[in-house]
Structure 1
């Protein structure tokens, strides 16, 4: 598991072996069984998390018990609640495993120290944050501007591997449409 993270760091930055050893020393390994929580609403998120194996989702529950999926994270993706991490306030999100998963957790204090001490790591994290912001911005644009069919097609274009790993009802939740609408769109798309 640590090897996957080390390969990721090496592929995205020019860290020295010493730097990499410092980064690895700060890491905690977390294994989740399918349906096990990484974070529950009301808890304070205290880590930066990197997925080395599996798939997790971030979501909220409304007053009626309906899930609203904010994102998915698979291998080589970061996950967590940035707002709770930054503010120290309880999270409004749940994060759980859709598959048996393995993650690398780095506590906030250690992570901040690594960013301060290792410029190449800090540059990597800034690049990740910038890309995450762009993804969030594009997701908002898609959500308010596109039809249900266009949302689904854009989802397939951006994440072609996810429909094989994520139940259709969860994809519908992520897209902000009903499972019935997604089923209809999938049938129409298959006929084209």
Structure 2
């Protein structure tokens, strides 16, 4: 599992990892396995760990007063999962996070993350690049939600993340896009005809 993370760091950092760096990462990250539908976090709990997905898929979602789920984030291999606000501020989360497939993760606590940022330049560089990428992705998603119709939102999502169509059920993708599953079915049918 750790080798997958070391390979991931190489993609996001020009700085090499020393043997000491790798040992510190191993000390601060703990392997975790989740079964399908098992929770990583439940609303109301404090997010004590942040997870790097080595294998599997996950979703982060809220549930409204009517019991409707609203997916705010999806994750696959080499993606991170957790509620950052709860993780850093130690406040109760508004979100549930669960495994959509059996998952293998490497999880880190807030103090471990801080130690790695302070001591490993490759980790610091990776974190900085991820924050930048996350902000850009959030802005794209928000713009798409505010200005795009259902068809455009779906097309944009599939262009950026084609694996989503294979890995996530349609009702999960529909929730992520903020549309109902019947609308998504019509969009997919019309895309197949063109």
| Gapped regions of structure 2 (runs ≥ 5) | none
Contact 2:36 2:99 (8 Å CA) reproduced = yes
Aligned length in residues: 192
Task: Report matched runs for 1:1-192 at 5 Å.
Answer: 1-13=1-13, 14=15, 15-192=17-194
CA separation in 2, counterparts of 1:10 and 1:156?
26
Q: Offset at 1:71?
A: 1.0
Q: Offset at 1:120?
A: 2.3
RMSD of aligned alpha carbons: 1.0
Q: Offset at 1:6?
A: 1.8
Q: Give TM-score, length-normalised by structure 1.
A: 0.97
CA separation in 2, counterparts of 1:138 and 1:24?
34
CA separation in 1, counterparts of 2:38 and 2:123?
30
Q: Offset at 1:2?
A: 1.9
Q: Give TM-score, length-normalised by structure 2.
A: 0.96
Q: Offset at 1:11?
A: 3.1
CA separation in 1, counterparts of 2:134 and 2:39?
22
Give the secondary structure class of the aligned counterpart of 2:162: coil
> Which contiguous aligned blocks of 4+ residues in structure 1 show a shift greater than 4 angstroms?
none
Give the secondary structure class of the aligned counterpart of 1:105: strand
